[in-house]
Structure 1
């Protein structure tokens, strides 16, 4: 017994002098998702992301020549796919929305029909977010129709945050549909240095909330976006933040208890 005490004494003295706090003993499980919008549209950065090793979530615009191709390409390479649903904005060209957008002049059944068609247009989709939509997301009748289809088809929703008056959070909670909101836009300024700065912001948000969501784009800003994101990975490793598909964020304790993952 005395020999055991002698052997353990240095270890016991170390613990006495260096107490282990609970927050140190259990490392935080920090997770961030990076959604890349506009697959199916522009080509800039598409190959970089879909042949890369960062598990981005590919948000694919429906009804384009490349919708199915990009969705299948993403799925085959192990990337999660979601629908980037075009919705009417307060400003901007209608041509930016592409075919069959969700606009304020549609009735609920017409909205539902377009969402059903969008789902068929983008194979393997497990969620949806809004493309533009600052006007349409404020229309309760339109958003309710979209959320009803999402519930029926078991899709999660990401509110892209294009309007502070969006009806998505309220109606998704009411109907028990999983929803999270975008925290950071990565490429609102087209430079890789700005994307890196925004990735640091994503890391800070994730450290505070435990979860974080950023949105970037392929197309016009696609190349600078991909470069900025890839250059930021060492920072995320240093901060012990894991990049995950969006669906993995819904398994955490931060989801409202009445949401159904």
Structure 2
């Protein structure tokens, strides 16, 4: 038998709740909302407390880790000062630990910094290193540890006094690095920025450009060594610079172009190749070039744009003083990348006693060089001109 229910659906007589029941429902809903609010507040507060606690705890873990590394490295600081600084970021609040470690002159800040960073095994933390100099006899290196871009720990390595090594005692033992700066000649402003670094470097200038002669004159007056950056046939469809030479030139044309190149740049001591991956593999072509360089008493640096180059061997067979590039430093225009390449160059010099690196006139390169010069000094590496490393 069908069941009939009336008054429960619209259009069939709306159901009317009794006043007392409506009041109880409202109270129940209000209580539920209050419970949800306080529960959410409690959870948020608990999470915030946990985040704050975790950041402070992470700072203490980093401190313990660094302290263990210092002990393992047998570092004997003259002084260690530790400070706890309250940090705030939005709703977060934590204690950052700041440590100042003063080292004596016998210890290497650079090596110690590497050990500290390699020994840090706490996940999701990053370390940023900043080197700075406080006058000729004071250096500082700061390690800042971050968790999710929040600073939780700082260690400042400070060296009050660095004893300079008497040059006459270790001249032959010090690793030597020659920096060749290529592609100079197009931009006077950048060239002057480079020269204002005021460190021994060999400036390799393109021939037959508007500013080539002026830059060479200024660089020579400031004590830099001048090199001719000789454009050679690459075998690829690349732009040909003025003063370009090719294996296809006959002897007369080749000699004429070389003479024009040398006339455009004063004070030239040597030559290195720009591009040239085709020409430097051509023994006959390089024999003609080396004949001319031998007549001019020039040295030659093989830039090694290809591993198949025979330029160095041909130069030596013609009695031309010569050497080969070890490392291109700035294939990527990124400061950290270039600093990493400079580190490889220093390691090469420390291993072999000498090394040659080629870089270019670029803001990132100049900044990386400026950052790394103090590291070279600290490691006892001597910057020299390319002419000092040729055979």
The TM-score, its normalising length taken from structure 2, stands at 0.55
Instruction: Indicate conservation of the 8 Å contact 1:34/1:216, yes or no.
Output: yes
Aligned to 2:97: none
Aligned to 2:369: 229
Determine if the alignment matches structure 1 residue 172 to structure 2 residue 312. Answer: no
The 5 A counterparts of 1:53-64 are 53-64=198-209
CA drift of 1:119 comes to: 1.0
Deviations along 1:100-140, whole A, 9 cap, x unmatched? 31123212332222112111111000000000111111122
Instruction: Indicate conservation of the 8 Å contact 2:328/2:358, yes or no.
Output: yes
Instruction: Indicate conservation of the 8 Å contact 1:195/1:228, yes or no.
Output: yes
Aligned to 1:3: none
Secondary structure at the aligned position of 1:45 is classed as helix
Structure 1 residues 92 and 197, CA gap change in structure 2 (3 angstroms): farther
Secondary structure at the aligned position of 2:389 is classed as helix
Instruction: Indicate conservation of the 8 Å contact 2:183/2:360, yes or no.
Output: yes
Instruction: Indicate conservation of the 8 Å contact 1:82/1:128, yes or no.
Output: yes
Aligned to 1:162: 305
Distance in 2 (alpha carbons) for counterparts of 1:77 and 1:139: 37
Aligned to 2:268: 125
Aligned to 1:74: 219
The structure 1 segments of at least 4 consecutive aligned residues displaced by more than 4 Å after TM superposition are none
Distance in 1 (alpha carbons) for counterparts of 2:285 and 2:260: 16
Distance in 1 (alpha carbons) for counterparts of 2:340 and 2:334: 10
Instruction: Indicate conservation of the 8 Å contact 1:83/1:129, yes or no.
Output: yes
CA drift of 1:194 comes to: 1.0
CA drift of 1:172 comes to: 1.1
User: Larger radius of gyration, structure 1 or 2?
Assistant: 2
The 5 A counterparts of 1:1-261 are 28-43=173-188, 45-94=190-239, 97-218=240-361, 222-250=362-390, 255=391
Instruction: Indicate conservation of the 8 Å contact 1:38/1:217, yes or no.
Output: yes
The structure whose RCO (Cα within 8 Å, separation 6+) is larger is: 1
Distance in 2 (alpha carbons) for counterparts of 1:231 and 1:90: 37
Instruction: Indicate conservation of the 8 Å contact 1:51/1:77, yes or no.
Output: no
Instruction: Indicate conservation of the 8 Å contact 1:109/1:145, yes or no.
Output: no
Distance in 1 (alpha carbons) for counterparts of 2:189 and 2:367: 11
Instruction: Indicate conservation of the 8 Å contact 1:31/1:211, yes or no.
Output: yes
Q: Which runs of 5+ in 2 are unaligned?
A: 1-168
CA drift of 1:183 comes to: 0.5
Instruction: Indicate conservation of the 8 Å contact 1:104/1:136, yes or no.
Output: yes
RMSD of aligned alpha carbons = 1.6
Deviations along 1:56-82, whole A, 9 cap, x unmatched? 110000011011011111101110001
Q: Which has the higher helix share?
A: 1
Q: Which runs of 5+ in 1 are unaligned?
A: 1-24, 256-261
Secondary structure at the aligned position of 2:376 is classed as helix
Instruction: Indicate conservation of the 8 Å contact 1:111/1:142, yes or no.
Output: no
Q: Which has the higher strand share?
A: 2
Instruction: Indicate conservation of the 8 Å contact 1:116/1:149, yes or no.
Output: no
Deviations along 1:152-205, whole A, 9 cap, x unmatched? 111100000011221212211111111100011111001111111111011011
